[in-house]
Amino acid sequence: MKTITSRDNPTFKALRDLAGDARRQKREGRALLEGPHLLAAALDHGVVPELVAVAEEAVDHPEIAALLARLPGVPVLCLRSTLFREVSELKTPVGILARIAVPNVTKAKDAVSSAPTLAPAGDCLLLDAVQDAGNVGTLLRTAAAAGVRDVLLGPGCAGAWTQRVLRAAQGAHFSLAIHENVDLAAFVQSFSGQSLATVAHGGESLYALDFSRPTAWLFGNEGAGLSPSLVAMAAKRVTIPLAADCESLNVAAAAAVCLFEMRRQRLIRHNPGGESTI
């Protein structure tokens, strides 16, 4: 473990510059995991960090010491507390941060991905310009919990591997296949299952649908909803029946209702005549 006390150290400067620049992180195909939970989730899924930084006062913390024991051969920096706060986004840093190469990402890829080359055959979640990092992270976490492995983010979405999204998703990234900057319209055209556009009003009731086929769920921007072109391309429009005095749900809450209704139906179908396993 190398101890760093100077801001002029080149390794520290490079880490600090990366921490403060989401565009650079995307360009280089790197992400920063802050906190024991995220690092443990990455390790549990076989993702080995390029570099780890630990605050000097956290080195002997049992949870952090146990994580460091799982990282033979990985460079570890021990940072003076004031330096660690410069690379942390948290008001109260938790003492450990890791730099990773983003899994399954082509570095410096800015062009919109060709959707047919992705071609997930199973359930998937499509996000159209969902801009709030907390919402994107919660949507990823919900997808993982509902057993939906593929998540496709169109242009205009918050970056999936930014620190705020990573914190909101609580480790879900590492059990998902995440595709960014996807041409969602091209994907919908090529998808072999059913595509469902979620709309606040005027769609078929969520509870009247059949989820026996693979399903592509489309969720839109927090204010504007789905683009009209995507709504028109989907096989069906879907609405969650709400109380009379309620206009709409937050996009992450709506996705949770929809994905778990799909999961509920399938669990019952696989356990006919028995008690619900939910």
pLDDT value at residue 277 = 46
Question: What integer is the mean pLDDT of 154-177?
Answer: 96
Which tokens go with 86? 């410069």
Which parts of the chain are beta strand (E)?
2-4, 30-34, 51-55, 76-79, 96-101, 124-127, 150-153, 177-179, 194-198, 204-205, 215-219, 236-239
Would you say residue 140 has pLDDT above 50? Answer: yes
* Interval 18-30: pLDDT, tens: 998 989 999 999 9
Would you say residue 219 has pLDDT above 60? Answer: yes
Would you say residue 107 has pLDDT above 60? Answer: no
pLDDT value at residue 106 = 40
pLDDT value at residue 121 = 67
Would you say residue 226 has pLDDT above 90? Answer: yes
* Interval 58-96: pLDDT, tens: 999 999 999 999 999 999 999 999 999 999 988 888 899
37, 56 contact by CB (below 8 A): no
Residue with token string 């994580």: 67
Q: For residues 190 and 115, give the distance between their C-alpha atoms in angstroms, rounded to a whole number.
A: 8
**CA-angle at 224, arms to 221 and 229, nearest 5°:** 85
pLDDT value at residue 248 = 82
* Interval 108-138: pLDDT, tens: 344 466 555 565 669 999 999 999 999 999 9
Q: How far is CA 71 from the centre of its chain?
A: 24
Return the closest-CA partner of residue 125 out of 103, 155, 153: 153
| 137 membership: H or E segment, kind and range | helix 133-145
pLDDT value at residue 104 = 72
Question: What integer is the mean pLDDT of 224-238?
Answer: 96
Taking the model in full, what pTM does it have?
0.91
Mean confidence (pLDDT) of the chain: 91
Which tokens go with 141? 């976490």
Would you say residue 159 has pLDDT above 90? Answer: yes
pLDDT value at residue 212 = 94
Q: For residues 174 and 133, give the distance between their C-alpha atoms in angstroms, rounded to a whole number.
A: 17
25, 166 contact by CB (below 8 A): no
Q: Which amino acid is at 49?
A: P
pLDDT value at residue 119 = 57
Which band of pLDDT confidence, cut at 50, 70 and 90, is reported for residue 270?
confident
